[in-house]
Amino acid sequence: MNYTTQMDAAKKGIITREMNIVARKEGMEAEKLRELIAEGKVVIPANKNHKSLNPEGIGEGLRTKINVNLGISKDCCSIEKELEKVRVAIEMKAEAIMDLSNYGKTENMRKRVIDMSTAMLGTVPMYDAIGFCDKELKDITVDEFFEVVEKHGQDGVDFITIHAGLNRETATAVKNNPRLTQIVSRGGSLLFAWMELNNRENPFYEYYDRLLDICEKYDITISLGDACRPGSLKDATDPAQIKELITLGELTKKAWERNVQVMIEGPGHMALNEIKANMLLEKKLCHGAPFYVLGPLVTDVAPGYDHITAAIGGTVAASSGADFLCYVTPAEHLRLPSLEDMKEGIIAFKIAAHAADIAKGIKGAVEWDNAMSKARADLDWETMFDLAIDGEKARRYRMESSPEDPETCTMCGKMCSMRTMKKILNNEDLNIK
């Protein structure tokens, strides 16, 4: 039986190769996974032209996944440095990479990432439009916007962020409800500017069926972008954000009618006490579609440490229903991240995702922690390093400060509680002096 997309196959009762791979990774019955994909509650972003892909699932009942943003800008345009980030991100087992290159002709960078990446790849075609068309934003035509999307599909991009919910009504809500930080979404601000400069409707909203044609053709997952995500605590859960979310729910159902897979993007900056309610709102208004969040950042006053503020919010968000976390690095709001910034962001969000998976009861999550605790009780340092999220750093810290007793560390020495209990319970000589 033929099928066009993973969702089309799922609705027809077909378990695809990608579904079988994801089911094995998640420890889930393939039939259960197929049902969730058919309902739109799980997506497997897998462009037909991404031949190196090792597929992953995102959504209900699955491990929380993380995404790594990278890409060139006009001020930092070394493709080789960004490709090194890709290599390291894959080594660190990030499930997704977004190439957010926004300078010049981005095709070369994008194709090289797709060729080498086993992780799913996302892009924001709007970032590419000016370089692709080689003209000012206001002069880009509707046809040219869709030509960019088609090109990304041809190249093998697995999911694309499209700010289709920023229609004229939502734009009016932005203007009628002034914000402290206005529209902080880069793609959203560009679309808002195009709409205002041309006095036109958002082409991705007005000609949404045309977008669905392209996505169905290549099996691209639409990541419905939140142009009105809050860029400050003050702007969270305001009329523009909620108006756009309602529209995204309507667009989700239209995509599902065409068997196009959908994720919903979310905030942003948000006080800790608002996160849980926002996760509930998204799941209700967008019919259980997987939720992809940036952070949320729970305070605005920690530049240089925003990987921490965002990981705190990401943990709460994922434990409350978010399925996919876009990492944030220490360089957020300050500069293009370095390789070391990227590493810190990945580790912070791997911790956030795993902590949330424990809270959600994801299969195998707490068992990992139990194995680490047993290794600690046994003073089995090698097993601890093997189980650590960042075993290299754990090993380095221990080696930098060697204890007198090799079983212990330099914090407690022979007064180590683990050592004491192990020896007493084994009827061994304690020998603390």
Q: Which residues are annotated as a binding site for substrate?
A: 69, 98, 127, 163, 185-187, 226-229, 265, 292
Return the ∠ at Cα 95 (arms to 90 and 97), rounded to 5°.
70
Alpha-carbon torsion, ordered 293, 259, 168, 197, to 10 deg: 90
Which residues contribute to the annotated binding site for [4Fe-4S] cluster?
Answer: 409, 412, 416
Q: Are 114 and 159 in contact (CB under 8 A)?
A: no
What is the rounded CA–CA span in Å between residue 159 and residue 209? 17
Which structure tokens are listed for 49? 């032209």
- Sign of the C-alpha dihedral, residues 310, 315, 321, 323? positive
Q: Where does 230-305 have alpha helices with state H?
A: 239-257, 272-285
* Number of other CB atoms surrounding residue 60 within 10 Å: 17
What is the rounded CA–CA span in Å between residue 97 and residue 80? 16
Q: Which amino acid is at 256?
A: W
Q: Which amino acid is at 133?
A: C
Q: What are the C-alpha distances in Å from 313 to residues 107, 229, 279, 280, 320?
A: 34, 14, 12, 15, 11
Which residues contribute to the annotated binding site?
Answer: 69, 98, 127, 163, 185-187, 226-229, 265, 269, 292, 333, 409, 412, 416
8-state DSSP, 271:
-
- Sign of the C-alpha dihedral, residues 121, 127, 128, 129? positive
What is the rounded CA–CA span in Å between residue 133 and residue 141? 9
Which structure tokens are listed for 48? 């037909």
Exposure letters 250-282 (e unless 16+ CB within 10 A, then b): ebbeebbebbbbbbbbbbbbbeeebbeebbebb
What is the rounded CA–CA span in Å between residue 6 and residue 412? 54
Q: Are 324 and 291 in contact (CB under 8 A)?
A: yes
Which residues contribute to the annotated binding site for Zn(2+)?
Answer: 269, 333
Name the strand (E) or helix (H) holding 390.
none
Contacts of 433 (CB under 8 A, 6+ apart): 414
231 prior amide bond cis, ω within 30: no
